[in-house]
Amino acid sequence: MEVFGQIWSNVIIQPMINTLVLLYSLAFSNFGIAIAIFTILIRGVMMPLTIKQSRQMKAMSALQPKIKEIQGRFANDKQKQSQETMKLYKEQGVNPIGCLGPMFIQMPIWIGLYQAIL
């Protein structure tokens, strides 16, 4: 487990600390401004992932009435219900767990930012 901690520190936290120190020196020696600028920068870098996640969630929401219809039609046959739902996802080009991928990428970065600030 020690190896994971070293990798986490060297790959995630240390670059964030270095960037915060650089921004501190550029931002009138004010850590509040440096943290705000750094948060905005990270948010900008994460924006494509956030947009992708939002689009997937909207697509899933748009399919909810059709999914409810399938659940009503095949209430007694769970296997057929699952097959029809997957067929609907494939036809619409929606991945049911597609909105989770960007979230799992973003979480370590936000956790690292929190630890770097501490």
Over the stretch 3-48, which tens digit does the pLDDT of each residue have?
Answer: 988 999 999 999 999 999 999 999 888 989 999 999 999 999 999 9
Residue 44, pLDDT score: 94
The tokens for 56 are 């997937």
Residue 118: its pLDDT value, please? 84
**Global pTM value:** 0.72
What is the spatial distance between Cα 35 and Cα 21, in angstroms, rounded to a whole number?
10
Residue 1 is predicted with a pLDDT of: 66
